[in-house]
Every structure is written in C-alpha cells, then in structure tokens.
C-alpha cells in the first residue's frame, strides 16, 4: 500500500472540501455524512476515465478498474480496521453486514470441496438450550436479525441492560454469558447516547467465560471517528458503515470476518464473480480472496472506490486520533454549555472517558422533532430527532411517549467551536420560547 505523506488537513481545509458547511451547521453525522470533494473526485475519475466492470474483462481499462477496486478494499481494511483485505467483505451498509452474519448463522455452507458438492459444517451447531445475547442499546440493525434468528431456531435471546447513563459494562456480560452462550452481538459506539463502550474488555470477558461464543460488533459509529485495531479488539465479526465516520458515499459499508470463519460461512447471495467453477450440478466458490465470495453480481464499484479514497482521507490526510480528539473536545464544549440549562435532559455517560462525538437531549415542553425543525429553520442547524432506530432503548430511557425520542447532535472533524456556540445559544433561546 502506498503511504501518502502529506501535512495533515486543517479543519478549514476539510470544510473547503465540504461546501454545505458554508450554509449549514451539519451535525447529523450519526445518520450519514457529507462526502468531501477529493472523494467525489476519485469517484468521478472512475466514472469518466475507466468506468468498466471489475474481476471480469481483460482489456486495459477493466484491469485498471479491478486494480483500483482491490486497492480500495485494501485501503478500507488496513486504514479503517487494521485488518487484511481478504477479511473485509464490502457491504451496502451496516445493516447488510448484520444480515450476512445472521444468514451464515442459520444456514450451512454449500460448496464443492475436495470434489464433493455438499453441505459443510454449520458455523454453530445450535441446540435448544443455546443462547444469543444482545443489548437493549442496539440499533434495530443489530437487534432484529438476532431476534428473527432466535425465533427461527427456537432458542432464547438474552438482553443485557446498560447503566442508566448508557454504558455497557464487562461485569454485566460476566454475569450473563455462560456455556450455552453461542453468539453475542453489541455495539462499539452508541448512536443514541454517544457512549464509546469498553469493547475490548467486554470481548475479553465473553471469551474467557466461553471461548466458543462468537462475537459480532456493530461498529456503525466507530471507524472514521476513531482508530480501530480489529485484532486487538478480538471479535469474530465487525460491521461498519462507510457513509458515516469514514466520510465515504452512501451505499457503502464493510464487514470484517476472521479468516478461518469466513471460509466456513454460508454465502447469502449467489451469482457472477464469486466462483472458480460452475457445472450443471454444482459450483466451487473462489478461495483466492475469501472476502470476495460475498461480491456476487456487479458491485457498487464507484461507491467502494470512493470508500477507499475516504479511508485515506480520514486516516492518512486528517488522522483518526485527531478526529477522535476533536470530536471529544466539541462534545465537551457543547455539554459544558448546556449542562446547567433548566428543563434540559441530557442522555450521555457521566464519565467523560466514555464520551464520543454525540450528545442527545430533550427540553421540557418540546417534542424532539419539533425542536429539531426549529433549529433547522431558524439557525440552519441540522440535527436528527426521533428514536434513531433504537426503540427498545427509547423505552428504557422513558423518552418515547413524552418527547417522541430525543434530539441528536453528532460531530465530525469539520465542525467548529463557533458552531457549537451557536447550537448552545439556539438551545437556550428555544428553552425560553
Ligand atoms: C449503531 C448503529 N448501528 C447500525 C446502524 C445502521 O447503519 P446503516 O444505515 O449503515 O445500515 C446505525 C445507523 O445509524 C447505527 O448508528
């Protein structure tokens, strides 16, 4: 991989790459992020200069497209997760990643191995006494696939609760994980409370209690916002959204799977581009790059070329540590400015060590969606309001009926201190209204 050595991009430079920052205070980064111009340029280059399919044609342009598509996977894998490209499946989003895993947990792989076309061993040989564990904080994308799985298999799903201020603790997992626990799914960073959970410690606790339990991490709000070292975390699966922290285009995401597990997974989608042979009676999946077994059909080539460029942008040209530190700084500034406002309810961890780049809140007398619209209309502040696809958590927090959920501000590197101060002033003004 080529390492670009450039001076790190300043906040101002990044803002120049994101024209909508001239007009709006964009703090809906938890939902999706704007795409900086250099990333669009890489996508345009593909569309204008070598827009051909990948892994198929032998002429120059097709070879160039394949080379750049592979390079994009390499950049995304190494720079966002610190893993190998062979272990990174390209997905449409985090939701797609969860569903790929859920399919593989319910189906046996079918492939020609040693000349025999037959079902391989299931990833997990489920028994009625087995358990799946997830948490009350999860996004629906990291909850519904497991609920369906547990229903289909007729097994129990245990739900872990966080602390009242939204932290998942290793000791809670220690109590609940046992020898019947076969699969555990939980988030890295909360989209509804902003918590950066102690993921590494939790995974260690799970694996010490039951080494055969497989662990899936929903990293939708992680990579791009902070450095991630997948092997250090120790999980088996890690999904992420390319269109959030990494500043990649919509329609992109990824799923890390440990290499030995990947080769044993049932493939959800079958079709062109993933096989080394097909006869009238069987097929043989390619095994050169295991992650490409999940690339059936023409992939979102332009999107993933954008994601590869975005990985370099956030990791090499800005720096993931710098992004994490800046988001934390902006978050603390906002919290300092609103903490003592009368009638405000804030839903973030009390201990600053767990705080990431998100602040969620409500003000008495306002439905969150109305307040969000007011902020947009009067101050051009773009927030997200509602349940954030975490309805069970909204019930846990008791905010669904009274407020309709809560308002969310999620920062990225390009947000400024001045913007934070405007948000504080706007919240104060609304509180008087
Ligand atoms: C924690 C979390 N998980 C999953 C998702 C779903 O991500 P995607 O839209 O990429 O499928 C989101 C999106 O907001 C999220 O914040």
Backbone angles phi, psi at 317, to 5 degrees: -90, -30
Domain boundary among 251, 283, 316: 316
Whether residue 349 sits in one domain with residue 213: no
Q: What is the mean pLDDT of residues 65-72?
A: 97
pLDDT score of 34 more than 60: yes
Query: pLDDT tens for residues 142-192?
Result: 999 999 999 999 999 999 999 999 999 999 999 999 999 999 999 999 999
Please report the pLDDT score of residue 56 as a whole number: 86
Tell me if 181 CB under 6 Å of ligand 1: no
Whether residue 156 sits in one domain with residue 23: no
Whether residue 214 sits in one domain with residue 121: yes
Please report the pLDDT score of residue 129 as a whole number: 97
pLDDT score of 5 more than 80: no
Please report the pLDDT score of residue 432 as a whole number: 73
Between CA 190 and CA 219 the distance in angstroms is 9
Tell me if 33 CB under 6 Å of ligand 1: no
Q: Please report whether residue 40 resides in a domain.
A: no
Whether residue 326 sits in one domain with residue 311: no
Using pLDDT thresholds of 50, 70 and 90, give the confidence band for residue 14.
Answer: very high
Q: Please report whether residue 2 resides in a domain.
A: no
For 153, the token pair is 């298999």
Are 187 and 223 within 8 A, CB to CB? no
Q: Please report whether residue 58 resides in a domain.
A: no
DSSP β-ladder status, 110-113 and 88-91: unpaired
Domain that holds residue 231: 64-316
Whether residue 25 sits in one domain with residue 97: no
Between helix 94-106 and helix 144-153 the angle, nearest 10°, is: 10
Between CA 351 and CA 267 the distance in angstroms is 42
Whether residue 245 sits in one domain with residue 103: yes
Whether residue 174 sits in one domain with residue 95: yes
Residues acting as catalytic residues: 389
Q: Please report whether residue 100 resides in a domain.
A: yes
For 365, the token pair is 């007398």
Distances (CA, A) of 416 to 272, 299, 316, 358, 359: 46, 36, 21, 14, 15
CATH (domain of 393): 3.90.1150.10
419 CA distance to ligand 1 middle (Å): 25
The ligand 1 atom at the shortest distance from the C-alpha of residue 188 is: 1
Tell me if 54 CB under 6 Å of ligand 1: no
Instruction: Calculate the dihedral angle through the C-alpha atoms of 379, 310, 92, 244, rounding to the nearest 10 degrees.
Output: -30
Q: Please report whether residue 414 resides in a domain.
A: yes
Q: Please report whether residue 360 resides in a domain.
A: yes
Are 357 and 33 within 8 A, CB to CB? no
- Provide the whole-model pTM: 0.97
CATH (domain of 85): 3.40.640.10
Whether residue 76 sits in one domain with residue 27: no
pLDDT score of 3 more than 60: no
The ligand 1 atom at the shortest distance from the C-alpha of residue 388 is: 14
Domain boundary among 292, 316, 340: 316
pLDDT score of 433 more than 70: no
Whether residue 228 sits in one domain with residue 123: yes
Q: Provide CB contacts within 8 A for 353, sequence distance 6+.
A: none
Between CA 253 and CA 134 the distance in angstroms is 22
92 CA distance to ligand 1 middle (Å): 11
Domain boundary among 291, 316, 341: 316
- SS3 string of the chain? CCCCCCCCCCHHHHHHCCHHHHCCEECECCCCCCCCHHHHHHHHHHHHHCCCCCCCCCCHHHHHHHHHHHHHHHHHHHHHHCCCHHHEEEECCHHHHHHHHHHHHHCCCEEEECCEEEECCCCCCCCCCCEEEEECCCCHHHCHHHHHHHHHHCCEEEEECCCCCCCCCHHHHHHHCCCCEEEEEEECECCCCCEECCHHHHHHHHHHHCCCCEEEEECCCCECCECCCHHHHCCCEEEEECCCCCCCCCCCEEEEECHHHHCCCCCCCCCCCCEEEECCCCEEECCCCHHHHHCCCCCCHHHHHHHHHHHHHHHHHHCHHHHHHHHHHHHHHHHHHHCCCCCEEECCCCCHHHECCEEEEEECCCCHHHHHHHHHHHHCEECEEECCCCHHHHHHHCCHHHHCCEEEEECCCCCCHHHHHHHHHHHHHHHHC
Mean per-residue pLDDT of the chain: 96
pLDDT score of 316 more than 80: yes
> Above pLDDT 70, what percent of the chain?
98
In 3D space, the residue among 253, 254, 244 whose CA is nearest the CA of residue 291 turns out to be 254
Tell me if 218 CB under 6 Å of ligand 1: yes
Give the distance from CA 205 to its chain's centroid: 23
Q: What is the mean pLDDT of residues 301-322?
A: 98
Q: Which residues is 111 bridged to in the sheet?
A: 118
Q: Please report whether residue 48 resides in a domain.
A: no
Are 139 and 389 within 8 A, CB to CB? yes
Q: Please report whether residue 192 resides in a domain.
A: yes
pLDDT score of 430 more than 80: yes
Tell me if 142 CB under 6 Å of ligand 1: yes
- Region of 290 (left: φ > 0; alpha: ψ -120 to 50; beta: rest) is alpha
Instruction: Name the residue with the closest Cα to ligand 1, atom 15.
Output: 220
Whether residue 226 sits in one domain with residue 94: yes
Whether residue 77 sits in one domain with residue 206: yes
pLDDT score of 2 more than 60: no
Tell me if 187 CB under 6 Å of ligand 1: yes
Domain count of the fold of the chain = 2
pLDDT score of 7 more than 80: no
Is residue 169 classed exposed, middle or buried when 0-12, 13-18 and 19+ CB atoms within 10 A define those classes?
middle
Query: pLDDT tens for residues 214-246?
Result: 999 999 999 999 999 999 999 999 999 999 999
Instruction: Name the residue with the closest Cα to ligand 1, atom 12.
Output: 220
Specify the range with the lowest mean pLDDT, choosing from 4-13, 363-372, 407-416. Answer: 4-13
Whether residue 291 sits in one domain with residue 206: yes
């Amino acid at each position: 991989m080529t390492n670009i050595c450039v001076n790190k991009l300043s906040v101002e430079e990044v803002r120049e790459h994101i024209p909508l920052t001239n007009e709006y205070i964009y703090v809906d980064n938890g939902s999706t992020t704007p795409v900086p111009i250099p990333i669009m340029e890489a996508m345009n280059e593909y569309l204008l200069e070598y827009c051909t399919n990948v892994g198929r044609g032998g002429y120059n342009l097709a070879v160039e497209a394949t080379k750049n598509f592979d390079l994009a996977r390499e950049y995304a894998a190494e720079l966002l997760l610190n893993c190998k490209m062979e272990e990174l499946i390209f997905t449409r989003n985090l939701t797609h990643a969860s569903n790929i895993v859920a399919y593989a947990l319910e189906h046996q792989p079918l492939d020609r191995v040693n000349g025999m076309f037959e079902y391989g061993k299931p990833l997990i040989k489920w028994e009625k006494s087995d358990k799946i564990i997830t948490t009350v904080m999860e996004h629906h994308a990291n909850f519904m696939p497991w609920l369906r799985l547990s229903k289909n298999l007729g097994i129990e799903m245990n739900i872990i609760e966080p602390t009242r201020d939204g932290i998942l603790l290793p000791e809670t997992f220690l109590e609940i994980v046992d020898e019947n626990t076969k699969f555990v799914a939980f988030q890295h960073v909360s989209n509804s409370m902003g918590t950066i959970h102690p993921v590494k410690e939790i995974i260690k606790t799970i694996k010490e209690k039951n080494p055969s339990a497989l662990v899936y991490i929903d990293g939708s709000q992680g990579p791009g916002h902070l450095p991630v070292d997948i092997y250090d975390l120790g999980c088996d699966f890690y999904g992420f959204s390319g269109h959030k922290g990494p500043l990649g285009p919509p329609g992109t995401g990824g799923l890390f799977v440990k290499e030995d597990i990947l080769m044993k997974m049932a493939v959800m989608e079958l079709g062109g581009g993933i096989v080394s042979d097909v006869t009238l009676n069987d097929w043989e999946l390619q095994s050169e790059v295991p992650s490409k077994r999940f690339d059936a059909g023409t992939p979102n080539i332009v999107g993933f070329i954008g994601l590869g460029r975005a990985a370099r942008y956030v990791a090499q040209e800005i720096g993931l540590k710098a992004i994490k530190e800046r988001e934390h700084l902006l978050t603390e500034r906002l919290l300092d400015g609103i903490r003592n406002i009368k009638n405000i309810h804030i839903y973030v961890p009390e201990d600053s060590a767990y705080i990431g780049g998100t602040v969620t809140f409500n003000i008495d007398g306002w439905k969150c969606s109305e307040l969000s619209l007011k902020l947009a209309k009067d101050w051009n502040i773009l927030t997200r309001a509602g349940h954030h696809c975490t309805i069970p958590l909204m019930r846990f927090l008791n905010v669904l009926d009274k407020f309709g959920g809560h308002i969310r501000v999620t920062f990225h590197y390009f947000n400024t201190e001045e913007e934070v101060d405007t948000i504080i002033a706007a919240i104060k003004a609304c509180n008087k209204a």
